[in-house]
Amino acid sequence: MVSVLPVVPGFHPDPSVCRVNDDYYLVCSSFEYFPGIPLFHSRDLLHWTQIGNVLDRPEQLRLPVDMTSSGGVYAPTLRHHDGRFWLIVTNCAEGAGNFIVTAADPTGPWSAPTWLPGIPGIDPDLAWDEDGTCWCTFAGVGQIPIDPYTGRVLGEQRGLWSGAPGARAPEAPHLYHIGDHWYLLIAEGGTERGHGISIARGPGPTGPFEPCPDNPILTHRGTDHPVQNTGHGDLVQAADGSWWLVFLGVRPHGGTPGWHVMGRETFLAPVTWTEDGWPTVGDIVSPADATAADAPFRDDFDLPELHPSWISVRDRSTEHCSTKERSGSLTLRARGSSLDEPDAVFIGRRQQHPACHASALVDAGQGVGGLAVRLDEQHHYGIETDGTQARVISRVGSVRAVVATLPVPAGPTVLGVRVSGPPAPHDPRTGPDVVSLGVERPDGAFSVLATLDGRYLSTEVAGGFTGRVIGPYAARGTVHVDWFGYEPLPG
Ligand code: 6LW
């Protein structure tokens, strides 16, 4: 069977997309990670390259240390209007809320936030009508006209439409003026196996909205499709007039009930219109050839700025994470706490393939540090070294254990993490994958210290909205990482 693949693999949920001439831009949620909101560019909707992060300065994004994992930055909407890029989003952290940032050029700089204290809840959308009124629509589904330059609300809040009667979590609204109608696209059913997308339309941006007779227009609930939880999407029209939907989905593996480990990923499907003017969503289309995400990634940390795909937990200060301290190395300085703590000094990249190998050359002569697969503070596996001994640490829920140790020669050590398919795929209790942690010997062989069940680093076990992130960390003192590599493996 041909694989059904995401267009943006790894934890990249809640996609929002816009087109400017022949260029498409796409953004996703980023939760507790900094910088926030990865930004991608494409010419064909199938092949995306990350060109930056929208929220890359502390004045735009503060994620306090007491903020929970899977809090933070939820569900942006990206639009191009009046010669500018507009992005509206929620920072769910205490004391934050909804805000808008804008940019003339998508590669930035993006402005400081314009806060929207009058807009409640999550999943804000922006749409402008012909009179220039800007309508902010949000989960629930409600709507308020706003001045997007000042953040002032310009009218009363009104309820628009809540999707199917009794369906939970009507959210992720996007409003579009297409032909003679205003269409209101929403997600409903919750972001788990019941997820779906429905649509309604009305004569104007405020409705009244009449539901599509074929709702939900997208759902994989109750099917054996390899991509599940499909929902939360955004429509875009290509330059050739064709229509497309980007949306989130997950790839569960293993026995029952199935576990997904890479979070919610971004998929693409074509959209056609019925004679009555309702959209029909076609089958998922996958890139037929390798995409930028499939190329092996290697960072020698030779550049002063880090590649935009690197993300840190809650903040990134040069005091704790820098490529300028030792030339050609990433220097990580612990804050006196481990990966279990919310202020962990960890920097990683999303796991983007069901099977992969990551490694890093770690010099722990002045501290303790390693390489981890992180789901959140309570769910991660790591291999670390203090310069004399390598050890594998497993943290699952409230249980933390050193599961294996190995003496290592003095000096830098290559630490490795390999994710591969489950050992007994026919047992209904089989997990989604296994994670092997070890050290690379001087002859290049990977010497495994422990192989652990991958289900404990899945969303079905850990909860929340994110997926696995793999990268180096400092547990004590200062560690230098000479290089980091990640490559997809077959299978
Ligand atoms: C997001 C909501 C959702 O705000 O999950 O799948 C929430 N949809 O729309 C977090 O990503």
Q: Tell me the mean pLDDT in the region 182-210.
A: 98
Tell which phi-psi region holds residue 193, choosing left (phi > 0), alpha (psi between -120 and 50) or beta.
alpha
Q: Enter the pTM of the model.
A: 0.97
Structure token pair of residue 100: 């808008």
What separation in Å is there between the alpha carbon of 16 and the centre of ligand 1? 12
Least confident residue range of 91-95, 152-156, 240-244, 260-264: 91-95
Residue 126 has pLDDT above 90, yes or no: yes
Q: Tell me the mean pLDDT in the region 234-251.
A: 98
Residue 1 has pLDDT above 70, yes or no: no
Count of beta carbons in the 10 Å neighbourhood of residue 64: 14
Distance of CA 397 to the CA centre of its chain: 22
Evaluate the CA torsion angle 345, 62, 400, 337 in order and state its sign. positive
Indicate if 296-488 has the same CATH topology as 16-281: no
User: Which pLDDT belongs to residue 290?
Assistant: 82
Q: Tell me the mean pLDDT in the region 370-396.
A: 97
Closest CA to 265 of 27, 14, 2: 14
User: Which pLDDT belongs to residue 10?
Assistant: 98
Indicate the pLDDT class of residue 422, thresholds 50, 70 and 90.
Answer: confident
Distance of CA 402 to the CA centre of its chain: 30
Q: Which atom of ligand 1 is nearest to the CA of 122?
A: 4
Looking at residue 96, its amino acid is A
Evaluate the CA torsion angle 4, 7, 11, 15 in order and state its sign. negative
User: Which pLDDT belongs to residue 2?
Assistant: 58
d(CA 85, CA 314): 25
> For residues 455 and 259, is the Cβ–Cβ distance under 8 A?
yes
**What amino acid positions are annotated as catalytic residues?**
14, 171
d(CA 148, CA 309): 29
Q: Tell me the mean pLDDT in the region 43-55.
A: 97
Q: Tell me the mean pLDDT in the region 330-339.
A: 90
Q: Which atom of ligand 1 is nearest to the CA of 139?
A: 9
d(CA 471, CA 330): 12
Mean pLDDT of the residues in the chain:
96
Which of 193, 232, 466 to mutate to test ligand 1, by most ligand atoms within 8 A of the CB atom? 232
pLDDT tens per residue, range 280-326: 999 999 998 888 888 999 999 999 899 999 999 999 999 999 999 99
Residue 443 has pLDDT above 80, yes or no: yes
Which of 12, 29, 125, 265 to mutate to test ligand 1, by most ligand atoms within 8 A of the CB atom? 29
Residue 198 has pLDDT above 90, yes or no: yes
Q: Where are the domains of the chain?
A: 16-281, 296-488
What separation in Å is there between the alpha carbon of 240 and the centre of ligand 1? 30
Provide φ and ψ at 455, rounded to 5°: -60, -30
- Give domain 296-488's CATH number out of 2.60.40.1730, 2.60.40.1930, 3.40.50.300, 2.60.120.200: 2.60.120.200
Q: Tell me the mean pLDDT in the region 98-122.
A: 97
What separation in Å is there between the alpha carbon of 28 and the centre of ligand 1? 10
Tell me the percentage of the chain whose pLDDT exceeds 90: 93
User: Which pLDDT belongs to residue 324?
Assistant: 93
Superfamily of domain 16-281: Glycosyl hydrolase domain; family 43 (2.115.10.20)
d(CA 441, CA 154): 65
Burial annotation 16-31 (CB, 10 A radius, 16+ → b, else e): bbbbeeeebbbbbbbb
- The response to whether residue 232 sits with its C-beta less than 6 Å from ligand 1 reads yes
- The response to whether residue 75 sits with its C-beta less than 6 Å from ligand 1 reads yes
